[in-house]
């Protein structure tokens, strides 16, 4: 099944394209973004290209590029995937990364709300799980803003859930 584009006033959530390489490298080479999101800094464009190629493959499975309309630039990603353990019946997990340059503008809650609407109404999901690493205040704020409720803290992660009902 092809992934559906999702759109708001400021954003388009769409599949990744090969010409997103420079945009993706810009924020995946940022040490702070990488640390807070839990991935290794991409030191070279070749490393980023390997990730981008995987993203292009995974785009058919609900891994969207977040494109800012005002500059036609990929500024982050958001994904909706099955849980590794099905904690709740008919549930999925949402994950996201945003370029530091665009923090504090309300863009990530806007993107998350597009995906939540899609998940609850199109995919008929009942629960969405979201996590962040302990100490990631930015993600905590975004997750709370989107209505998720705290579930637990375990090791280095904090878990939240949003119920459709």
Q: b/e map of 49-74 (b: 16 or more CB within 10 Å)?
A: eebbeebbebbeebbbbbbbeeeebb
Strand-by-strand arrangement of the 63-68 sheet? 6-7, 11-14, 63-68, 73-82, 91-98, 127-133, 157-163, 149-154
- Burial label, 1 (beta-carbon count in 10 A; 0-12, 13-18, 19+): exposed
Whether the per-residue pLDDT at 58 is higher than 90: the answer is: no
**pTM recorded for the entire structure:** 0.92
Name the DSSP class of 122: T
**Region 23-40: what's the mean pLDDT?**
91
Structure confidence at residue 37 (pLDDT):
87
**pLDDT value, residue 85:** 64
Distance between first and last Cα of the chain = 27
Quick check: 59 pLDDT over 90? no
pLDDT the model gives residue 87:
62
CB atoms within 10 A of CB 47: 15
Tokens of 117: 């609407």
Place of tokens 């630039």: 73
- pLDDT at residue 2, as a whole number: 66
pLDDT bucket at 3, cuts 50 / 70 / 90: confident
Q: What ranges do the domains of the chain cover?
A: 6-163
Look at residue 77 and give its three-state secondary structure: strand
- What integer best gives the mean pLDDT of the chain? 91
> Are 75 and 68 contacting, i.e. CB atoms less than 8 angstroms apart?
yes
Output 59 or 123, whichever has higher pLDDT. Answer: 123
Whether the pLDDT of residue 84 is over 80: the answer is no
Q: What local confidence, expressed as pLDDT, does residue 164 receive? A: 84
Evaluate if residue 32 carries a pLDDT over 80: yes
**Residue indicated by tokens 């996590």:** 131
Strands 91-98 and 127-133: parallel
| Rounded (10°) CA dihedral 4, 65, 40, 52 | 80
Given a contact cutoff of 8 angstroms between Cβ atoms, the answer to whether 123 and 93 are in contact is: no
Superfamily of domain 6-163, CATH level 4: Gcn5-related N-acetyltransferase (GNAT) (3.40.630.30)
């Amino acid at each position: 099944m092809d992934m559906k584009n999702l759109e708001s006033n400021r954003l388009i959530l769409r599949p990744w394209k090969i010409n997103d390489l420079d945009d993706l490298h810009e924020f995946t080479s940022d040490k702070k973004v990488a640390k807070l999101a839990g991935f290794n800094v991409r030191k070279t464009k070749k490393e980023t290209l390997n990730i981008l190629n995987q993203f292009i493959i995974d785009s058919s499975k609900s891994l969207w590029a977040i494109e800012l309309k005002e500059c036609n630039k990929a500024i982050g990603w958001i994904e909706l995937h099955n849980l590794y353990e099905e904690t709740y019946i008919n549930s999925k997990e949402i994950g996201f990364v945003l370029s530091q340059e665009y923090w504090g503008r309300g863009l990530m809650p806007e993107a998350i709300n597009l995906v939540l609407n899609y998940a609850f109404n199109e995919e008929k999901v009942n629960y969405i799980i979201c996590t962040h690493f302990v100490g990631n205040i930015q993600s905590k704020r975004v997750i709370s803003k989107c209505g998720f409720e705290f579930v637990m803290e375990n090791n280095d992660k904090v878990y939240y859930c949003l119920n459709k009902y």
